[in-house]
Amino acid sequence: MSSKVFFIKTGCDDGEEIISQKARQLFKAGGFASCFKQGDFTAVKVHVGEPPNNTYVKSPCIKGLVEELLELKTKPFIVDTSTLYTGRRHNAIDHAILANEHGFGISGLGIPFIAPDGLFGTSETAVQINGELNKEVFIASDIVRCQSILSIAHFTGHPAACAAATLKTLGMGCASRKGKMRQHAAMRPKVSNDCTLCGDCFDHCPADAITLDDVKAHIDRDKCIGCGECVAVCRFGAVKYDWGAENRLLQKSIAEHALGVVKGKENRVAFFNFVIFVTDGCDCFDRQDLPKIVDDIGILASTDPVAVDKASIDLVESRSGTTIPRLLGKDKLDPRYQIEHAERVGLGSTDYKLIEVD
Ligand code: SF4
Ligand code: SF4
């Protein structure tokens, strides 16, 4: 049977309050209240924004969804995990302060920000999944312990995973530090002799993994966290992955970690994709005012994480009239590889029925 994916049109031109109202309308129309029970500790997974990036989903846009959870008398709390790279989300203290500045806390939404992976990103639970790459995955412990999850993802392109939405929000965004390292382990770009020594990659590398000598840039594989930022910023095409092998391992591992996040929470997680302000890089990229790569589409929601991502990809490609790899200028990437692996490991279905909500 096809998974139901609910869809409502909206866009940045509507303004944050209308976007919030439409997300709430979608929540009601899709019957997502059934995922949440009175007294649940409900994790509301978001990306609170990583300065200077300013194209993430802003907190007022999710206010209506939070109000729904409060009306259902759950105990919702905003969650996001510590990043591998040094920045404002590198540990729970800095992350909570940033979340509050961006309205993702008690002052903005009336609920607290709580780092589910502890102060340093090391509070984790090993979840057995028996995947193709991972027999067990390492997930933020309070994500595992809470009773239900409202996952709110921003759909964007990504230089390695090709598309970043629900699966990446779950797999990477809910993993502990060790879980993230495992996913990135396969991704180590290399610098070719096309390097002009411009220094852009050095300036943007969040892990201080790049050095420059008289000939070209070099990447320290022990420091590199595989984020792909250097690949994205190099204007000379001098930093490359072995796309044929490495990015596919990352995509598979993200899907397997996502499986670990939802294991034991069948029908207790609702997945929302905000397909507005779609940019070529994810919200972690330290670039401001990234341009949209496709017109705003709206919000999609489902209880099936595979179906909601598949439907989002299909709508973006239909709206743009081309494939996401072509939109990103990376023909060798394929977002479906991750989706299909997620389906193979039992996370959900690529067979969906899109139901538009007026
Ligand atoms: S951004 Fe590219 S060209 Fe510039 S230093 Fe880095 S690898 Fe070399
Ligand atoms: S992928 Fe590039 S930017 Fe990211 S940590 Fe490695 S060297 Fe630095």
The pLDDT of residue 226: 74
Asked, colleague to colleague, whether 3-184+244-356 and 190-240 share their fold, the answer is: no
Predicted confidence band of residue 270 (pLDDT cuts 50, 70, 90): very high
What DSSP assignment string belongs to 198-235? --HHHHH-TT--EEE-SS-EEE-TTT-----HHHHH-T
Query: Taking all residues of the chain, what is their mean pLDDT, rounded to a whole number?
Result: 93
- Which of 172, 188, 227 to probe ligand 2 with, by most ligand atoms within 8 A of CB? 227
User: In which element (H, E) is residue 171 found?
Assistant: helix 166-171
Q: What is the mean pLDDT of residues 206-221?
A: 93
Q: Compute, in angstroms, the gap from residue 168 CA to the centroid of ligand 2.
A: 18
By percentage, how much of the chain surpasses pLDDT 70?
98
pLDDT in tens, 271-282: 999 999 999 888
Predicted confidence band of residue 25 (pLDDT cuts 50, 70, 90): very high
Ligand 1 binding pocket includes 165 (Cβ within 6 Å): no
The domain spans of the chain are: 3-184+244-356, 190-240
pLDDT-wise least confident of 166-175, 184-193, 240-249, 309-318: 240-249
Predicted confidence band of residue 229 (pLDDT cuts 50, 70, 90): confident
Which residue has its alpha carbon closest to ligand 1 atom 6?
201
SS (H, E, C) 312-337: HHHHHHHHHCCCHHHHHCCCCCCHHH
Class of the CATH domain delimited by 3-184+244-356: alpha beta
Residues lining ligand 2, Cβ inside 6 A: 189, 205, 207, 209-210, 219, 224-230
Predicted confidence band of residue 245 (pLDDT cuts 50, 70, 90): low
The pLDDT of residue 356: 98
pLDDT in tens, 103-147: 999 999 999 999 999 999 999 999 999 999 899 999 999 999 999
Q: Compute, in angstroms, the gap from residue 43 CA to the centroid of ligand 2.
A: 30
pLDDT in tens, 290-348: 889 999 999 999 999 999 999 999 999 999 999 999 999 888 889 999 999 999 999 99
pLDDT-wise least confident of 18-27, 178-187, 329-338: 178-187
What's the CA gap between 95 and 89, in Å, rounded?
4
- Which of 192, 194, 195 to probe ligand 1 with, by most ligand atoms within 8 A of CB? 195
Q: Which CATH number is correct for 190-240, 1.10.10.60, 3.40.50.620, 3.30.70.20, 2.130.10.10?
A: 3.30.70.20
Predicted confidence band of residue 186 (pLDDT cuts 50, 70, 90): low
